[in-house]
Structure 1
Amino acid sequence: MSYQKNTWVDHIVDPGTGEIVQQGTKFTATRANNMESGIERAHQLVEGLAQNILGSSVISGLAFTTNGLTANYTAGAAYVNGVKIDVAAGSIQLNGTQGQYIYLDTDGLVKNTTSQATADAKCKLWYFATDATSVITSTDSRTIVSKDAFVKQTDVAANGANKIPRLDGQGKGAFSITGDASTVAGKTVGNAADNVPLSNGTLNTNLNADMVDGYHVGTGANQIPTRDANGKLVADQLARLKITKSGKDASGKFTQVDYKRESDNTLFMRSVLSNPDANGNYQTDTWTYYKADGTTVAETKIWTITYDADGDITSVA
């Protein structure tokens, strides 16, 4: 969740009249706690990023030497679960006749433990095996971050060779690339045939675009229609359909009308009247649409027809 900031305004009083010109924003526990929560979330975010990137590792120092059962370490700096800790030089007393790990804890203290898991969970530094009076073996267990993992400010610049590009005030890369690439994937940039298209406002008549606003061109569903040699749209529309009537009733009304595609004579839509009332007026008109094969039903729409006392149609819904 993003931080919900407050907009604060000053409390202004007219010095002459004592009249309040502007009511200032009140400082309340709710607003203060909102700030505290925002600060806490910001710290959690930074620490989480550091943990993901650096984990628990030594930046510098924290090298050990021993004298009897005393382990002395140099000053240094390390990350413990993403939190940077600076450590002054010091010493820690080792336990006799024991294998033990030395680690840096989140409280900034150097500690020892017999559990490797405990040391691994923090920032493991060293391992010592001892007898009753001295160290038998020791192992440097530090994970040291290479200096190459950090970027020097002097390596960040607006331009120049062997520099890391810097973003400008608008968040754009203020950086010039020396040396123009002559081709892109082996193709030159331009408006001619076999060129990578150039966005320069000039019409590229050779560009074969696959889609327009996310739609393909064709005669299928959800496609942009094309035109035939006569300039007519290649699409299902009544102007391009042949009409056949059948099923004439005793009153001379045709109860079925077929609309067939002109190009291949396949059935596009069939209208069937049914459900006559006492006066022979049909109250239902069923439209059935067919796919390109002329037999597979694509959609069915049923219309209800109402009449007035004179038998004239008043609505179709």
Structure 2
Amino acid sequence: MSYQKNTWVDHIVDPGTGEIVQQGTKFTATRANNMESGIEKAHQLVEGLAQNILGSSVISGLNFTTNGLTANYTAGSAYVNGVKFDVAAGSIQLNPTQGQYIYLDSDGSVKKTTSQATADAKCRLWYYATDAITVITSTDNRNIVSKDSFVKQTEVAANGANKIPRLDAQGKGAFSITGDAATIGGKATSDIVLQTEVAASGANKVPRLDGTGKGAFSITGDAATVDGKSVGTGANQIPTRDANGKLVADQLARLKITKSGKDANGKFTQVDYKRESDNSLFMRSVLSNPDANGNYQTDTWTYYKADGTTVAETKIWTITYDADGDVTGVA
């Protein structure tokens, strides 16, 4: 949300009559806290941008020299995880016979550590290896940001290869990394086909939407096909829906039915539905829990995956009967 600013007016009193000419804006805790909140958000935004653009880097100075085991550094400015610090010139005592990293901490202090990970988590400045009395290895580890790395908007040409991002006259992005500013991914905008320019049929079509906003496209065939397969008819077809919204796919109905487990009343307690293609079990229905009249009150449906043995889903139905033994409900 954007900052909601207050409009302040002076409190004006007529010096002759004492009459209030203009009621001034009252200074309240609510208005003061609104200002504090706005200032805080502005700082957070600036620090967030600095973190994304600069991270932890040196803007100027912080150059090191040594004298024995004393490391002296010049004044400078640097960012630690997006927070800027202006550091005064100073010195730090090095440990003898040790490799150590000098870094700027998030409190603005220059410190030392034997852990590169600790230094990298802040703003690493220098590395020293020492013997008992002096420095034997010195390495500048500063990540220095140069002003030459930034290009002003007015200095960005309208076209040219390997362009940096730029804004057009309307403030919209118009850029590419490997091509001209008027291209996308090296492709000229004239190569991009508009929706209105896409024909209704033809090989190697680009995806398009029909008049109702639904996809109608193909990769190798007409727009009414997908991968050369027609919709609605033929083997290996894409499932479609009938007038009632139900799926229409012939292969789902090609099941062989086998009954077994006949009880004393002549009722089959198990029905197997097997796939016609490979005779694998698709679904098994098992009746159980008979009442005193021999009416089964539970029907368990078990669905199996393509291997015919792995259970995919189980549904349990409760069957109710009236006094005549007729089914009155399944839930």
Verify the 8 A CA contact 1:157 1:164 in the aligned structure 2: no
Residues 1:236 and 2:215 aligned together: no
In structure 2, stretches of 5+ residues that fail to align are 9-27, 77-84, 105-109, 111-122, 127-137, 176-180, 192-200, 210-215, 228-234, 241-247
Query: Which runs of structure 2 are paired with 1:189-208 in the superposition (5 Å)?
Result: 198=206, 204=218, 206=220
> The residue matched to 2:38 in structure 1 has which SS?
helix
RMSD: 5.0
Q: Which has the larger radius of gyration?
A: 1
Give, in angstroms, the shift of residue 260 of structure 1. 2.4
Distance change >3 Å, CA 315–CA 9, structure 1 → 2: farther
Residue identity opposite 1:270 in structure 2? R
Verify the 8 A CA contact 2:207 2:218 in the aligned structure 1: no
Give, in angstroms, the shift of residue 6 of structure 1. 5.0
> The residue matched to 1:280 in structure 2 has which SS?
coil
Match of 2:81 in 1: none
Give, in angstroms, the shift of residue 305 of structure 1. 1.2
> Of 288, 309, 313, which aligns to 1:274?
288
Distance change >3 Å, CA 245–CA 119, structure 1 → 2: closer
> The residue matched to 2:55 in structure 1 has which SS?
helix
- 1:69-96 residue CA offsets vs partner (Å, 9 max, x unmatched): xxxxxxxxx589xxxxxxxxxxxxx999
Match of 1:151 in 2: 151
Match of 1:109 in 2: 88
Residue identity opposite 2:46 in structure 1? H
Normalising by structure 1, we get a TM-score of: 0.53
Verify the 8 A CA contact 2:286 2:300 in the aligned structure 1: yes
Verify the 8 A CA contact 2:218 2:226 in the aligned structure 1: no
Report which stretch shifted further, 276-285 or 142-151: 142-151
Give, in angstroms, the shift of residue 282 of structure 1. 1.1
Distance change >3 Å, CA 299–CA 156, structure 1 → 2: same
Match of 1:172 in 2: 173
Distance change >3 Å, CA 224–CA 153, structure 1 → 2: same
Verify the 8 A CA contact 1:158 1:165 in the aligned structure 2: no
Distance 1:140 1:249 in 2: 91
Give, in angstroms, the shift of residue 278 of structure 1. 1.0
| Percent identical residues | 48
Residue identity opposite 1:104 in structure 2? A
Match of 1:73 in 2: none
Query: Which runs of structure 2 are paired with 1:1-317 in the superposition (5 Å)?
Result: 4-5=1-2, 7=4, 27-49=30-52, 51-52=54-55, 55-58=57-60, 78=61, 99-104=70-75, 106-107=85-86, 109-115=88-94, 120-121=103-104, 145-146=145-146, 148-160=148-160, 164-168=164-168, 169=170, 171-173=172-174, 175-177=181-183, 198=206, 204=218, 206=220, 225=239, 233=249, 235-237=251-253, 240-317=254-331
Distance change >3 Å, CA 273–CA 159, structure 1 → 2: same
Residue identity opposite 1:233 in structure 2? A
Give, in angstroms, the shift of residue 156 of structure 1. 1.4
Residue identity opposite 2:182 in structure 1? S
> The residue matched to 2:33 in structure 1 has which SS?
helix
Residue identity opposite 1:150 in structure 2? F
Distance 1:96 1:256 in 2: 94
Normalising by structure 2, we get a TM-score of: 0.51
Verify the 8 A CA contact 2:71 2:91 in the aligned structure 1: yes
- 1:100-145 residue CA offsets vs partner (Å, 9 max, x unmatched): 41321544533344459796435979xxxxxxxxxxxxx9979665
Report which stretch shifted further, 146-155 or 200-209: 200-209
Give, in angstroms, the shift of residue 41 of structure 1. 1.0
Verify the 8 A CA contact 1:101 1:115 in the aligned structure 2: no
Distance 1:296 1:99 in 2: 74
Verify the 8 A CA contact 1:271 1:286 in the aligned structure 2: yes
Distance change >3 Å, CA 243–CA 170, structure 1 → 2: farther
In structure 1, stretches of 5+ residues that fail to align are 12-25, 59-77, 81-93, 126-138, 184-190, 211-217, 227-231
